[in-house]
Amino acid sequence: MHRSAKRLASLLACAAVPVMLVAGCSSDDSGKKKDEGGSAAPKSSAPSKSGSASPSVTPAKMKKLPNPCQSVSKDTLKKLVPKTKNEDGEQGKSSDAMARGYCAWKSSDDQGVDGTQYRWLDVGFQRYDSDPTLGSGEKRATDFYKKQVNTAKATQGAKNVKSGAVESLGDEAMWVTYDLKKEDDDFKNQTLIARTANVVVTVNYNGAGLAGADAPDPSDLLKLAKGATQEAVASVAKANQ
């Protein structure tokens, strides 16, 4: 039976914003030591007791990040979020656009008595500089990459969690899929995390059949998410040419 417009609006309002957004999209608290992104913690001005120089680290390879809302092509967006009302995406606020960035798109395809197909896509970037006190940018990015993978696997309420490595995508990449029920509707979630040098790319893509529509095929969603992630990783290299 077709659900009321009020219930459908409620579903769309809460639909599938994944908990795995890129860390640090909002401004850092003043005065706190930063351990992520392009800005390192201030070094003490006090001289070393031993008089030895600070240890050196390999300079970070990637110096810039792409515009997150331009990291996926228009053609790809038409496949992932075909009924989006904003192809330009909704860009997240960042205190340092060269350290982190985020953009999201959503699509709601009302098919009348057959229900509504809902889709959500977001792309996040996190870049790390090298710092003698914190390590190389690549090491810091590797640590964050592992954290993102573990966070996706531990999503609260997730069912049928599966994961696997993705070959030939950045320096390392992993997919994590799971089901998540919200207000009696089943959302199929796909998360792709990829590291290229000192930058971590996180792509979340999910879909659901609302108001009686059939649930989307998770394998189809994962294939589309992989394509979007490949484009996002490529955009990092292009930004640093």
DSSP code per residue over the chain: -PPPHHHHHHHHHHS---S-PPTT-SPPPTTPPP-SSSPPPPPP-SPPSS-PPPPP-PPPS------GGGSS-HHHHHHHSTTBS-TT-EEPP-S-TTTEEEEEEEEEEE-GGG-EEEEEEEEEEEE---BTTTB-HHHHHHHHHHHHHHHHHT-TT-EEEEEEE-TTSSSEEEEEEEEEEETTEEEEEEEEEEEETTEEEEEEEEEEEETTPPPPPHHHHHHHHHHHHHHHHHHHHHHT-
Q: Do the beta carbons of residue 148 and residue 193 sit within 8 Å?
A: yes
Q: What pLDDT does residue 10 have?
A: 52
Q: Do the beta carbons of residue 2 and residue 212 sit within 8 Å?
A: yes
Tens digit of pLDDT for each residue in 34-76?
Answer: 444 444 444 444 444 444 455 789 999 999 999 999 999 999 9
pTM of the model: 0.79
Q: What pLDDT does residue 183 have?
A: 78
Separation between Cα atoms, residue 167 and residue 163, nearest integer Å: 13
Q: Where are the domains of the chain?
A: 56-239
Q: What is the CATH number of domain 56-239?
A: 3.40.1000
Instruction: State the chain's mean pLDDT as an integer.
Output: 84
Task: Indicate whether 188 pLDDT > 90.
Answer: yes
Q: Do the beta carbons of residue 209 and residue 178 sit within 8 Å?
A: no
Separation between Cα atoms, residue 225 and residue 190, nearest integer Å: 7
26: amino acid identity, one letter:
S
- 104: confidence class by pLDDT, cuts 50, 70, 90: very high
